[in-house]
């Protein structure tokens, strides 16, 4: 049997040992899609922060040496997937890495994790937002939720009434920052989650029925599927629908199995659905 050499994605995110989020979901999801995932930890956590206690080790000071070693080895990647960055300095380190990789023309996917439900996370400063705006200029694909899309574009947030015109204007503002492919996630309508997809001459909404409680790690799963599909040249709209459907399947099963919300979704049972 002829074996096809897998493409490679550098996955930049935090590492939480328990709770099904960040790098610990990205690695199996991307691997199931027959892409090699190469992790770059930004921090090491015993578990994610929804638990009452957490051991936390900031990896910022180690990141430059880690990435410089890859440069010395002349390693290159087909894609770069960037998730949560905890500080302006981490954003600058990632921006430098992307610049050094530009000769190999990787697809750059950025999930600009900064907030939810209309508010920035408590650790996200105005300086952080400005640095993220600058980083997004380097992206080919971005996957902000509706809150993060508003933060990136200085658009007033509101809970509902995101009609076609307002979403088109919001995505246009995001495209103007540099990314050619945009998906705005987490838009709520009665009984449904909406993703707004915009690229080339396509602009449309994808509706997915709500299947259970909102859970940690679903954004990481979504971005991982988008990233693996991007380096495998899957059509963007197809990829968004695949990611949304996969998360719905996992969420529904997790609710039926009474898995605690803070433990994320039991995606392990469904990885076979992602195999090409």
Structure tokens at 30: 């991307």
Q: What is the pLDDT of residue 250?
A: 97
pTM: 0.96
What are the extents of the domains in the chain? 7-263
Residue 270: count of CB within 10 angstroms of its CB: 15
Question: Which helix (H) or strand (E) is 92 found in, with range?
Answer: helix 88-100
200 three-state secondary structure: coil
Does position 159 have pLDDT exceeding 90, yes or no?
Answer: no
Cβ atoms of residues 211 and 192 within 8 Å: no
Confidence grade of residue 173 (pLDDT, cut at 50, 70, 90): very high
Give the CATH class of 7-263: alpha beta
pLDDT of residue 42 exceeding 90: yes
SS3 270: helix
Q: For position 276, what pLDDT does the model report?
A: 67
Q: Which pLDDT does position 77 carry in this prediction? A: 98
Going by C-alpha positions, the residue among 56, 39, 38 that lies closest to residue 47 is 56
Share of the chain above pLDDT 90, in %: 89
Distance CA 197, CA 195 (A): 6
Residue 240 is predicted with a pLDDT of: 97
pLDDT digit string (tens) for 127-137? 999 999 999 99
CB 41 within 8 A of CB 59: yes
Q: What is the rounded average pLDDT for all residues in the chain? A: 95
Please state the φ and ψ torsions of residue 66, each to the nearest 5 degrees. Answer: -60, -50
How far is it, in rounded angstroms, from Cα 100 to Cα 117? 35
Would the pLDDT of 2 be above 80? Answer: no
| The pLDDT of residue 161 is above 80 | no
Q: What is the mean pLDDT of residues 184-190?
A: 88
Find the mean pLDDT for residues 177-196: 92
Distance CA 106, CA 109 (A): 9
pLDDT number for residue 189: 84
Q: Which of 74, 63, 82, 86 is nearest to 10 (CA)?
A: 82
Confidence of residue 66 (pLDDT cuts 50, 70, 90): very high
Q: For the segment 11-33, what is each residue's pLDDT rounded down to a tens digit?
A: 999 999 999 999 999 999 999 99
């Amino acid at each position: 049997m002829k074996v096809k050499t897998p493409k490679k994605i550098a996955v930049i995110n935090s590492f939480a040992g328990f709770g099904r989020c960040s790098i610990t979901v990205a690695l199996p999801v991307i691997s199931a899609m027959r892409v090699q995932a190469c992790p770059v930890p930004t921090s090491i956590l015993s578990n994610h922060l929804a638990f009452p206690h957490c051991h936390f080790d900031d990896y910022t000071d180690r990141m430059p040496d880690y990435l410089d070693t890859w440069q010395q080895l002349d390693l290159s990647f087909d894609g770069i997937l960037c998730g949560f960055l905890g500080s302006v300095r981490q954003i600058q380190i990632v921006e430098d890495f992307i610049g050094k990789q530009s000769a190999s023309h990787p697809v750059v996917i950025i999930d600009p994790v900064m907030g939810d439900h209309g508010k920035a996370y408590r650790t996200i400063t105005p300086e952080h937002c400005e640095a993220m705006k600058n980083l997004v200029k380097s992206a080919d694909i971005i996957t902000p939720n509706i809150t993060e899309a508003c933060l990136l574009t200085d658009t007033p947030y509101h809970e509902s009434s995101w009609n076609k015109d307002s979403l088109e204007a919001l995505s246009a503002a995001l495209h103007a920052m540099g990314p050619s492919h945009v998906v705005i996630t987490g838009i709520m309508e009665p009984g449904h989650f909406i993703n707004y997809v915009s690229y080339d001459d396509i602009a449309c909404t994808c509706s997915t029925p709500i299947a259970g409680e909102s859970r940690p790690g679903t954004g990481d799963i979504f971005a991982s599927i988008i990233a693996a599909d991007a380096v495998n040249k899957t059509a963007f709209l197809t990829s968004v629908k695949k990611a949304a459907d996969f998360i719905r399947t996992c969420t529904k099963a997790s609710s039926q199995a009474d898995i605690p919300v803070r433990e994320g979704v039991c995606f392990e049972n469904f990885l076979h659905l992602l195999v090409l």
